[in-house]
Structure 1
C-alpha cells in the first residue's frame, strides 16, 4: 500500500444534473508535490453522494493509505484508510 500526505478538499461536479456531487482531491505535501498540484481521491459511493469517510476530513491535513494509480498525465488514489494529522 502507498501513502500520501496532504490537505483534503472537495469540488462539486455535475452541477444541475442527477449526478451532481463532490469529487475529492488531496493537495500533496510530500514527494508527490513536486509532480502534482492535486490528486483525485476515488470515493466509495455513488457520484451524487458524499463519502462518509472523506467528507468529515475536508480541509484537514491527512495521510491516505491506498493504491496509487499514476500515468504520465493523471494520478488517482483508491483509498483504504484515512487518518487526520495534527
Structure 2
C-alpha cells in the first residue's frame, strides 16, 4: 500500500511541476536555473507509547534534476550503491 501511494504522489508532483514549467517556462527559467526533486518513503521505527523504537529511516526512490525543462536522473549517481526496491 505504501509503495502504491508513493507512486500516485510521485505522478501528481511530477505532473504539477512539469505543467507549471511548461506553462510558465520563460518566467520560471528567468528566476531559477534548476529544479531538483527527491522522493522516497519514510519508515517510522516505532515511537509510540510504550515502544522503544529507533531512528526513522528514509528509503530514497527518486532523484531528478531539471535544467531549462530537460530532466536528468541523479538517482544512479547519488544512490546507485544502495539496495533499492523496484517499485
TM over 0.5: no
Q: Say which structure is richer in helix.
A: 2
Which of structures 1 and 2 has the larger relative contact order (alpha carbons within 8 angstroms, sep 6+)?
1
Say which one has the larger Rg: 2
Calculate the TM-score normalised by the size of structure 1. 0.28
